[in-house]
Amino acid sequence: MENFLIVGLGNPGKEYYATRHNAGWLALDYIAEQLKVKIKKIKFKATYAETVYAGKKLILLKPQTYMNASGEAVMAAADYYHISPENILVIHDDISLPSNKLRIRKKGSAGGHNGLKNIIYLLRSENFPRIKIGVADRKDQSDLKDWVLGTFTKEEQRGLLENFDDIYKAALLICEGKIEEAMAQYNKEKPPAEQ
Q: Which residues are designated catalytic?
A: 21
Written as one letter, the residue type at 178 is: K
Written as one letter, the residue type at 164 is: F
Angstrom CA distances, 186 to 2, 42, 189, stand at 25, 32, 9
The β-bridge relationship of strands 130-134 and 56-63 is unpaired
> Cα–Cα–Cα angle for 15, 135, 172, nearest 5°?
95
The answer to whether residues 170 and 131 touch, using CB atoms and an 8 Å cutoff, is: yes
- Cα 3 to chain center, whole Å? 18
**Secondary structure (3-state) at 48:** strand
